[in-house]
Amino acid sequence: MTDTSLAAAQNDLARAYAGGAPGVLVSGLVWLIAGAVWQLYGTMAAFAALFVGGMAIHPLAVVIERTAFKAPTPTIGKPLETLAIEATIPLFVGVLIAWVLLVRAPDLAIPTFAAIVGARYFLFRTMYGDSAYWALGGAILLIAGLALFGIALPVNLGFLVGIVELIAAALILRRWRART
């Protein structure tokens, strides 16, 4: 893929998915819900909320993209959609690792889950052509890393990741609107 065709595919994908902002928004809401569940019911319940909520992110984001933004389906962005699908495989492996940790080292399960999500956002830079995803991925990795090393966070990790994603969704949406 040439630089020109990559840029065209990125623009097409960004147009079809509102720059990815609705997915980040839904993910942020899932993390906030998981944070609340974690506070009230513990790690196992929060992990379940993340797992179930995570499966709802893409379908809910598509509903938002099609209804709120009247976004068309991608046409030339198909190769980058394939990248998104391929990036889901390591995500599933990471969730499996986090699930094993849930039994063996529960304090590490959700921070590991967050690190996996943060790492995946780095691919979104290539998919949407927006470097804001590097900042988002880095922020989540920082939060996850602090928690993994046992450094106390001001609030639970679910709330922090959710807040970071909601802020990022607003910024990504603004950047996407400026591009269109």
Question: Could you tell me what percent of the chain has a pLDDT over 70?
Answer: 98
Task: Note the pLDDT of residue 1.
Answer: 59
| Helix pair 157-179, 21-41: axis angle to 10 deg | 170
Q: Which residues contact 51 (CB under 8 A, 6 or more apart)?
A: 95
Q: Is 2 left (phi over 0), alpha (psi -120 to 50) or beta?
A: beta
Mean pLDDT over residues 41-56, rounded?
A: 97
Q: Answer whether 83's CB lies under 8 Å from 123's CB.
A: yes
Token reading at 144:
């996850």
Please give the average per-residue pLDDT across 64-90, as a whole number: 86
| pLDDT tens digits, one per residue of 100-111 | 999 999 999 999
- State the chain's mean pLDDT as an integer: 94
pTM of the shown model: 0.94
For the chain, give the percent of residues with pLDDT over 90.
82
Structure tokens at 75: 């046409």
Check residue 119 and report its DSSP letter. Answer: H
Q: Say if residues 49 and 30 touch (Cβ distance below 8 Å).
A: yes
